[in-house]
Structure 1
Amino acid sequence: MRKVIFLLISFMFLTGCVEQKIIDDINIMSAVGYDAREDGEVKGTIVIPVYKADKSISNESFMSVAKVSKEINRQSQMKSADPLENGGIEVVLFGKELAERGVYEISDTIERDAAIGDRLYMAVVDGKADEVLEKNLGNLGTGAYLNTLFEHNMRHRELPRSNLHLFMYSYYSKVKDAFLPYVKLTGNKVKIIGIALFKGDKAVDYLNDSDMFFFKALMENFRNGSYTFKVGEDYVTTYNITTKRKYEIEDPLTQPKVKLRVKLEAHIREFSGETLDPKVIDLAGKSLEEQINKRTEELLNRFRDKGIDPIGIGVLAKTQTRNFDPEKWNAVYPNATFEVSSKVLITETGVIE
């Protein structure tokens, strides 16, 4: 009993040591953007949500220029009437020019901050990040809007999973390269237009939105995707797509031969032709198989030729190889060959059918 009382008293003293912060007396950051400036400087834009009496939400932004990201935060604090707290950051955006210059210093600083969760989303903007963050996006504030945009498209569409944790894991990996969503401001909306591919901490290539379905098929097993393709002179739209993939890697440290098997199940939502009969369904399945084989193999060859590995073929080779040597793998990866085969099953064609 004495031990219990002692523990309770100890907890009381411990809780008394924690600094309490009243939410009405602080500014909680929801999104941050960084853009390249001359002389190696970086422009930072911090966005906080402002809750109005009529329950609507607008944004207030703070902009500063400095050599390092921590100095941007310090300068912004001097412009804010209330303390700026970074524990609520949901999204970090990098302008394209800065992404191509390198984002390690900023990403590393964010990751080291214990107040910031490593599951926050990051993305590259086609243009400047501040142009996005100056807009009042969505009904819940810009940060919440962007967070929901990425989460929805990763869970239910063709955007592969990515966040701060996964980006830094790929950066530090000796056999894998990072990628981030690539977005563009269109009016009062932000559109995901593709994928930014990194070598180290620099963006070196970009996939467009037509590549995203095939890139995600290479990256992960997923559900609820959709894809529209041509069969003869007609168009077929598939949805509720489920994919499974399996890699086999032969001779990984001498002459890598990468074999990929993709299984895909899908429903047909829309057909532009007159009659969706079994013959057309069979043709649609074979056409999609051909496109998967061709487009995924093209992407794998493209990555190899650019000296990047966003898929993590090297990670897969490591799991399949005893005494795996990253240096040997990186030396032979430029000579890797790829073979892709797929099997498509159309399981439904609509309620009428």
Structure 2
Amino acid sequence: MKIKIVAFILIIVVMFLYGRQPKQIVDDIEMPNIVGYDYIDKNTIQTTTVLPVYKPDKSIENKALTVEGELSKETLGRLQRKSFQQVGNGKLAVAVYSKKLARRGIGSLIDTFHRDPKISEKLYLTVVDGQAKTLLRKQYGEGDNGLFLSELIEQNIDSGVIPKTNLHYFLSAYFSKINDPFLPLIQKKGDDVIVKGIALFKGDRYVGTLGQNKLFVFKALIENITLGTYKVRINNRENAIIQSINIKHKYNIQNIKERPNIDIFLNGIGTIIEFKGRKLNQEEITKIENQMNEQLERQATTLIRSFQKLKIDPIGLGDEVRSRTRNFNDQKWLKQYPTVKVNIKVHMVISEKGVSDGE
């Protein structure tokens, strides 16, 4: 009998506590899937969200809300007051930071996402060259802006233009003692948006940019490439476009206990789809292969030297050394990193030839 009484009391307590929880009815909540942040001054940021409004004719209108505040949680409260319905953040797909804000640090804003259980780790983060507000208030196509920008980033990842990136990857590098994060850099261009390059970070601060011409080699150093495209310059008049490129990288690290010496091997295969020069034969193909190897080696070496000069490690050389080192010392590595010798070895094979514009 006592057991039944205790069980009854527990049920009453649970029902009482549950009944006190605020209820959120999905139909009564506006769910933006994109948010943008702009720098106003050292104490104020501007937050813009875009709410997709579905009309009876099945078209979509983007309703933008902009407020100013000190923290993103504070601005969310102000957005609530500007909307006739409650604003939630459970469907956010993209977060955009202006370059001006990123230079001053986005750590507090990233921390807000990190602590919010409603935010997916698959959330795309990106830096915009310009104002986030200006970018988000423009209508792109007939769909909602959040879907448009998330598909833009996803397509550039899938097509081999930029490495995999989202909130999870950023946080992994951000909280690492030896790695540094990076994000896609986008730009509004007329009525469209393009991926302009990669925004490099030291901690939570934007410190530099990789242009489009450096993205292929940057991705190749970080992850294996499938279906990539690369332009080989033979001379001032001749160049070749290599497509369907598959590249795998391999690390060989020597003298680990003292000062590591790192060899990076890039091995791949591709197809010539366009060649402006003489008629293609095996001799010309071999020449293009050699030129591609030299060009990639030179670009990769220059890229890594620039990272060492900035004292950032976005490609994860420290992780490669740590994975091979017993009792790895973070501080020792950070002191060594700017002068560590890194050698790039590229071996590309052209398996087929396509269009030729030779005589």
TM tier, smaller: over 0.9
1:138 and 1:222 mapped to 2: Cα distance?
30
Query: Pick from 300, 316, 323: which aligns with 1:319?
Result: 323
Q: TM-score, normalization: structure 2?
A: 0.91
Say yes or no: does 1:63 pair with 2:63: no
2:110 and 2:256 mapped to 1: Cα distance?
32
1:310 and 1:42 mapped to 2: Cα distance?
27
Preserved contact between residue 139 and residue 145 of structure 1 (Cα < 8 Å): no
**Cα displacement (A) at 1:249:** 2.1
Preserved contact between residue 269 and residue 349 of structure 2 (Cα < 8 Å): yes
1:38 and 1:44 mapped to 2: Cα distance?
13
- Opposite residue 138 of structure 2, the aligned amino acid is K
Preserved contact between residue 252 and residue 329 of structure 1 (Cα < 8 Å): no
Equivalence map 1:281-320=2 (5 Å): 281-320=285-324
Equivalence map 1:28-107=2 (5 Å): 28-107=31-110
Structure 2 residue matching 1:144: 3-state secondary structure: helix
2:221 and 2:143 mapped to 1: Cα distance?
34
1:174 and 1:231 mapped to 2: Cα distance?
41
**Cα displacement (A) at 1:271:** 1.3
Q: 1:19 to 1:289 in 2, by over 3 A?
A: same
Provide the residue aligned with 2:343 in structure 1: 339
Moved more, 227-236 or 283-292: 227-236
**Cα displacement (A) at 1:239:** 1.1
Query: Pick from 126, 129, 137: which aligns with 1:126?
Result: 129
Structure 2 residue matching 1:349: 3-state secondary structure: strand
1:67 and 1:263 mapped to 2: Cα distance?
49
Structure 2 residue matching 1:87: 3-state secondary structure: coil
Q: TM-score, normalization: structure 1?
A: 0.92
Q: 1:189 to 1:52 in 2, by over 3 A?
A: same
Preserved contact between residue 218 and residue 300 of structure 2 (Cα < 8 Å): yes
Equivalence map 1:1-353=2 (5 Å): 21-232=24-235, 233-350=237-354
Preserved contact between residue 274 and residue 355 of structure 2 (Cα < 8 Å): no
2:322 and 2:133 mapped to 1: Cα distance?
41
- Opposite residue 330 of structure 1, the aligned amino acid is L
1:266 and 1:340 mapped to 2: Cα distance?
19
**Cα displacement (A) at 1:23:** 4.0
- Opposite residue 122 of structure 1, the aligned amino acid is L
1:44 and 1:165 mapped to 2: Cα distance?
22
Q: 1:29 to 1:253 in 2, by over 3 A?
A: farther
Structure 2 residue matching 1:135: 3-state secondary structure: coil
**Cα displacement (A) at 1:85:** 1.4
2:291 and 2:142 mapped to 1: Cα distance?
42
Structure 1 residue matching 2:82: 3-state secondary structure: coil
Q: 1:326 to 1:39 in 2, by over 3 A?
A: closer
Structure 2 residue matching 1:181: 3-state secondary structure: strand
Give RMSD over aligned pairs. 2.1
Deviations 1:317-350, CA, capped at 9 Å, x for gaps: 1101111111111111122111111100111213
- Opposite residue 84 of structure 1, the aligned amino acid is V
Instruction: Percent identity, please.
Output: 35
Preserved contact between residue 100 and residue 202 of structure 1 (Cα < 8 Å): yes
**Cα displacement (A) at 1:19:** 7.1
Preserved contact between residue 87 and residue 115 of structure 1 (Cα < 8 Å): yes
Q: 1:316 to 1:263 in 2, by over 3 A?
A: same
**Cα displacement (A) at 1:39:** 3.6
Preserved contact between residue 256 and residue 335 of structure 1 (Cα < 8 Å): no
Q: 1:80 to 1:324 in 2, by over 3 A?
A: same
- Rg (Cα) greater in structure: 2
Provide the residue aligned with 1:3 in structure 2: none
**Cα displacement (A) at 1:274:** 4.8
**Cα displacement (A) at 1:171:** 0.8
Deviations 1:47-90, CA, capped at 9 Å, x for gaps: 11111111111201111111111001000000001111111100
Moved more, 122-131 or 266-275: 266-275
- Opposite residue 209 of structure 2, the aligned amino acid is Y
Structure 1 residue matching 2:285: 3-state secondary structure: helix
**Cα displacement (A) at 1:229:** 2.0
1:58 and 1:238 mapped to 2: Cα distance?
41
Gap runs ≥5 in structure 2:
1-10
Preserved contact between residue 179 and residue 310 of structure 1 (Cα < 8 Å): yes
